[in-house]
Amino acid sequence: MTELFLGILTFLTSTIAAIVGVGGGMMLIAILPSFLPINALIPVHGLTQMTSNLSRAVFGYKDVQYEVIPKFLLGSFLGIGIFASILSFISLEYVPLFIGIYILLSLWSEKFNERIKRYESYFLAGFFQTGLSIIVGATGPLTMTLLLKDYKNKDEVVATSAALMSLSHILKVFVFMYFGFVFFDYIGIIIAMVIGAIAGSWVGTKLRNIIDGKKFTIILKVLLTALAIKVIVGVFI
């Protein structure tokens, strides 16, 4: 039953991400603490999001702006190395708290987002997006702002963001494998979520230019806010 629910949930969040470019991963990471132990939260989410973003990039491969990838990838390697080295010093008990606070700040704090915008290079975006992803899970908004500035075509922004995020998640999955996380222990859940992720990417890609993105984003922000508050409260109760 859990597998079916998480498969459907991943389908919905992957569809959302394929339509507006961001939000699906944040929504998923906010709900997963209710279904997975803390030590499995970021690794399983990472593998699922790797599939979601990679399939979204494949479905929109003609729109991916490949010239930004080398600098982003270089920054990602450096970021994942540095942040992975401090991962063992972070208490997993408070990971959901970091996730909830990060979601709220990225949604509602202009000052927080302005500080992020200062790192407007694909090298630094890769460094922080990939590095921070092993702690808070979903960091898509870090590059979305930069892409929106450089590209006006919605399909180009969404497809390129998906390509960059898939690189972040691929590196993250390798890090957790290095630290000894056994993905096979959650194989049933992972298979269900991977199927949901790919199906959601396909449906969302088809719906992207049909649904009003602005109204959809407002609803998404409200849902994410409620989920983030639930996650934060859950740490203390």
- Domain segments of the chain: what residues? 2-236
Quickly state the pLDDT bin for 92 (edges 50, 70, 90). low
Contact 190, 47 (CB under 8 A): yes
DSSP strand E in 9-163: where? Answer: none
Better pLDDT: 7 or 230: 7
Q: Among 158-172, 177-191, 200-214, whose mean pLDDT is lowest? A: 200-214
Mapping DSSP to helix (H, G, I), strand (E, B) and coil, where does residue 26 land? helix
141 has a pLDDT exceeding 70: no
pLDDT at residue 158, as a whole number: 86
37: exposed, middle or buried (Cβ count in 10 Å: 0-12, 13-18, 19+): exposed
Mean pLDDT of 85-89: 77
DSSP strand E in 128-178: where? Answer: none
Quickly state the pLDDT bin for 216 (edges 50, 70, 90). low
pTM given for the model: 0.80
Q: Which residue has the tokens 């975006």?
A: 125
Averaged confidence pLDDT in the chain? 85
Mean pLDDT of 62-70: 93
